[in-house]
Amino acid sequence: MSTKLSEAALLSHSAFHLILASGSARRRELLTDAGFLFSVLPPRSGAEEDAEASLYGATPELLVKTLARTKARDVVSMLLNGTLVPRLDGLATASIVANAPLVVLACDSVAVCDGEILGKPVDRADAERMLRRLSGSRHSVVTGLCLALLSRESTSRELERVETSTLQMDELSEEQLSAYLASNLWQGKAGAFGYQDGNSWLELLSGEESNVVGLPLEALAQILVENFSA
């Protein structure tokens, strides 16, 4: 773990209250393993649907940045309206406003292969299509990161980053493809694969490993340290 990441995790214990705007178990695991103290408040179901509809034909970078921002703003809206259903550390709205700034963290990721954006598969057939598309290819995972900072006066500002990691997928045999599809590990994952699943047929060439999972920790740490370190 880098020094900056350790510093950012330590800051989450005293300098601000971190709220993860995601229901992703893997993103929670990444933050927990890095030592962050945080609560979880996912955006409302379908919060980004209108934004997605307006982003047809957008670049991957614009797409993920806009969707991450939309998720963050939805959670900010709930917090400012007192609609807080926290998990993990049981923070209350009153204590957040009274004691420290609130930082809402939202992300969105897609896989990109030869210009084609691959989001989360809708079913097994869609997952198979994506994996066949990626098989034997070099591709990237692009993640938009949005931090919405709320002051004690309930005013907010947004800090955004887009991170890209490059991967190489081996040519998948029919046996490998069938086994992975049968495992259902593709569910809910951009591009229908999870780097964290430990597949020998997937190699990270550049960028953050955590970015491929959906939360670029080093980029997050840099933003937090720049804005909250004394």
Rounded to an integer, what distance in angstroms lies between the CA atom of residue 103 and that of residue 151? 9
How far CA 215 is from CA of 26, 106, 184, 193, in Å, comes to 9, 9, 21, 15
- The chain-wide mean pLDDT, for the chain, equals 87
- Predicted TM-score (pTM) of the model is 0.87
Rounded to an integer, what distance in angstroms lies between the CA atom of residue 18 and that of residue 11? 10
pLDDT of residue 58: 87
> Average pLDDT for residues 60-78, to the nearest whole number?
93
- Among residues 50, 108, 123, 126, the one annotated as catalytic is 108
- The Cβ of residue 222 has, within 10 Å, a number of other Cβ atoms equal to 16
pLDDT of residue 45: 82
pLDDT of residue 50: 72
User: Who has greater pLDDT, 85 or 174?
Assistant: 174
β-partners of residue 65 are none
Q: Do the Cβ atoms of 212 and 110 come closer than 8 Å?
A: no
Instruction: Work out the angle at residue 218's Cα, subtended by the Cα atoms of residues 214 and 220, and round it to the nearest 5 degrees.
Output: 70
33 is catalytic: no
Question: 6: helix, coil or strand?
Answer: helix
* pLDDT, tens only, 92-149: 443 443 467 889 999 999 999 998 999 889 999 999 999 999 999 999 999 999 999 9
Tokens 């993860």 map to which residue? Answer: 20
Rounded to an integer, what distance in angstroms lies between the CA atom of residue 143 and that of residue 133? 20
Q: Do the Cβ atoms of 22 and 41 come closer than 8 Å?
A: no
In 74-96, which positions are buried (b, 16+ CB within 10 angstroms) versus exposed (e)?
A: bbbebbeeeebebeeeebebeeb
Of 4-8, 37-41, 74-78, 95-99, give the range with the top mean pLDDT. Answer: 4-8
How would residue 153 be classed by pLDDT, with cut points 50, 70 and 90? low
**Is a pLDDT exceeding 80 seen at residue 151?**
no
Closest CA to 180 of 165, 170, 29, 139: 170
Rounded to an integer, what distance in angstroms lies between the CA atom of residue 157 and that of residue 108? 19
**Is a pLDDT exceeding 90 seen at residue 79?**
no
With pLDDT > 70 as the criterion, what percentage of the chain qualifies? 90
pLDDT of residue 83: 54
| Lowest-pLDDT choice from 11-15, 75-79, 91-95, 209-213 | 91-95
pLDDT of residue 95: 43
pLDDT of residue 195: 85
How far CA 221 is from CA of 4, 6, 11, in Å, comes to 6, 8, 10
pLDDT of residue 152: 60
- The Cβ of residue 208 has, within 10 Å, a number of other Cβ atoms equal to 19
